[in-house]
Amino acid sequence: MSHQPRSVRGFTLVELLVVIAIIGVLVGLLLPAVQAAREAARRMSCSNNFKQIGLAVHNYHSAYNNLPVHASGTYAVGGRDPWDVNPGREISSNKRLSFLVGLTPFLEQQALWAQISNPLAINSNGSAKSPPWQAMGPHPDRVQYPPWATEVKTLRCPSDPGTGLPSLGRTNYAACMGDSAVYSRDSYLDVDEVASGAVLPYASDTAHANASGSAQRGMFVNGRAIKFRDTLDGLSNTIMCGEITTDLGDNDNRTTVPTNVGGHASPNEKNQCRLDPSYAEPYIDPERPSFWISAGLTKNATWGRGYRWHDYMPPYSQMTTVLGPNKQLCSEGRDHRDVVTPPSSRHQGGVHVLMGDGAVRFVTDSIEAGNKNAPQVANRAGSPAPGSQSPFGLWGSLGSRAAREVISGDF
């Protein structure tokens, strides 16, 4: 009895290659969808963080009958203005604290608030501090002070990869100062004279208050306790905060602050920031228009966007509705003076904004923003008079709290 040999069936090399190719094509098709789904999840998480901040602001207002003050804290008598180097940097926060510091206990950060609001006898490296840091902390650039080096998860958008030095604790959410960047560095009152016991009205203090009142048209005003009732245009029509992307040290023109053409630039030049190629040293890289050109770019590496959640200065925790979302930063003469600070994000096509009523909206980059070269409202010569309607269209109108502008329809 004879047995016939069985034939063993298997895949040929060609068949295996065809299957591998098909799997490769399917993976190639699926990966973008997976990445898009992940970004959608990150964007939703970012929006939820903003909702938490909005709820915290409303709870704060319910408790204290005003918004948390932007540009607050302690001040060393005999020191200097907040934008200068305070001789008492170890003993005073120099009126440099952002609105986010006051929000910490309303963001489930009671332990962090307890460290800030009480004397603290340790350094960031765990060593003892004697004498201890005073309540409300030192100057915001002190990396040795543990709270200033703390990353607060609620203040970070998951889509933003920024981390580590030279920043301290980063933030992706900033206070809206309105549709003008003029005097954005200046406080409502001159802290030198207030600290030394000057009696109001005092000439310089009056000048500070008038300058601030003319240009800081948003829901936050440096050094001033704003109330919801001050938003005459309606909370649902006014941006309270905006999303910002933090600096990665790559000359991104949304996160790196160059200086303009010196001194007090003309009102419309604040917005341009030497974008015109006719300048002897234009700033935009012609081969990479989303980045500044490195050659000849004057900047300070420590003024990166969003680098300090606790610092009120424009690059760190302010935004304006002058230029549209995801447009370039621009400064008048210095990297921290009169800085045009559009909101920005790592999301595709727009940014989140937090409205005064607590609603979170996604504003596209294409929102109508008027004349980008128009002078900003201020009490300076050549600028629209205080109280004028915004020259920056719908976008500018959303930033001003009391210009009596009517917002019709959705945006």
Residue type, 57: V
Q: So what's the pLDDT on residue 406? A: 72
Q: What are the start-end ranges of the E strands in 186-323?
A: 239-243, 284-285, 288-292, 318-319
Task: Answer yes or no: is 255 within a domain.
Answer: yes
Q: Does residue 410 lie in a domain region?
A: no
Written as one string, the DSSP assignment of 70-114 is: SSBS---TT---TTS--TTTTT--TT-B-HHHHHGGGGT-HHHHH
Cα 254 from Cα 245, distance rounded (Å): 8
| Displacement of CA 63 from its chain's centroid (Å) | 25
Report yes or no on 354 lying in a domain: yes
Can you tell me the mean pLDDT for 12-32? 78
pLDDT in tens, 272-300: 555 555 554 557 777 888 888 765 555 56
Q: Which of 309, 375, 308 is nearest to 340 (CA)?
A: 375
Name the residue among 390, 411, 71 with its Cα closest to residue 233: 390
Whether residue 145 is contained in a domain is answered as: yes
Where is average pLDDT lowest: 113-117, 273-277, 380-384?
Answer: 273-277
Tell which residue, 268, 234, 280, 269, has the closest CA to residue 397. Answer: 234
> Do 239 and 219 contact (CB within 8 A), yes or no?
yes
Distance of alpha carbon 115 from alpha carbon 138, whole angstroms: 12
| Phi and psi at residue 268, to the nearest 5° | -80, -20
Mean predicted lDDT score pLDDT of the chain: 82
Confidence of residue 203 (pLDDT cuts 50, 70, 90): very low
Domain contains 379: yes
Residue pLDDT, tens place only, 1-17: 555 556 556 667 777 78
Q: How confident is the model at residue 398 (pLDDT cuts 50, 70, 90)?
A: very high
Residue-by-residue DSSP string for 20-73? HHHHHHHHHHHHHHHHHHHHHHHHHHHHHHHHHHHHHHHHHHHHHSSPPPSSBS
* pTM, 2 dp: 0.84
Mean pLDDT of 379-389: 84
Size (the chain), residues: 411
Q: What is the pLDDT of residues 206-222, one digit of tens each?
A: 777 787 888 899 999 99
Give me 244's structure tokens: 């910002």
**Is the CB of residue 343 less than 8 Å from the CB of residue 226?**
no
Query: What confidence score (pLDDT) does residue 37 get?
Result: 73
How far is residue 325's CA from residue 410's CA, in Å, rounded to a whole number? 17
Please give the structure tokens belonging to residue 180: 């003008």
Q: Residue 175 pLDDT more than 60?
A: yes
CB 179, CB 217: distance < 8 Å? yes
Q: What is the pLDDT of residue 383?
A: 83
Nearest to 73 by CA among 110, 53, 102: 102
Give the DSSP H or E segment for 350: strand 350-355
Residue 275 lies in a domain: yes
Examine residue 90 and state whether it is found in any structural domain, yes or no.
yes
What is residue 365's DSSP assignment?
Answer: T
> Domain limits at 142?
36-263+270-399
pLDDT of residue 202: 43
Give the Cα separation of 171 and 318 in Å (integer): 11
Tokens at 127, concatenated: 């060593």
Rounded to whole angstroms, the Cα distance separating 371 from 268 reads 10
The yes-or-no verdict on residue 51 having pLDDT over 90 is yes
Amino acid 18: pLDDT: 82
Query: Contact 68/57 with Cβ under 8 angstroms?
Result: yes
Query: In sequence order, which ranges of 216-295 are alpha helices (DSSP H)?
Result: 269-272
The C-alpha atoms of residue 41 and residue 136 are separated, in whole angstroms, by: 36
Number of domains observed in the structure of the chain: 1
What mean pLDDT is predicted for residues 198-207? 53
Those residues whose C-beta lies under 8 Å from the C-beta of residue 190, and which sit 6 or more positions away, are 81, 202, 204, 205, 207, 208
- Asked if residue 161 belongs to a domain, the reply is yes
Dist CA 116 CA 260 (whole Å): 36
Mean pLDDT of 18-45: 78
3-state secondary structure of 343: coil
Please name the helix (run of DSSP H) or strand (run of DSSP E) that holds residue 175, with its range, or none: strand 173-176
CA angle 95/200/264 to nearest 5° reads 60
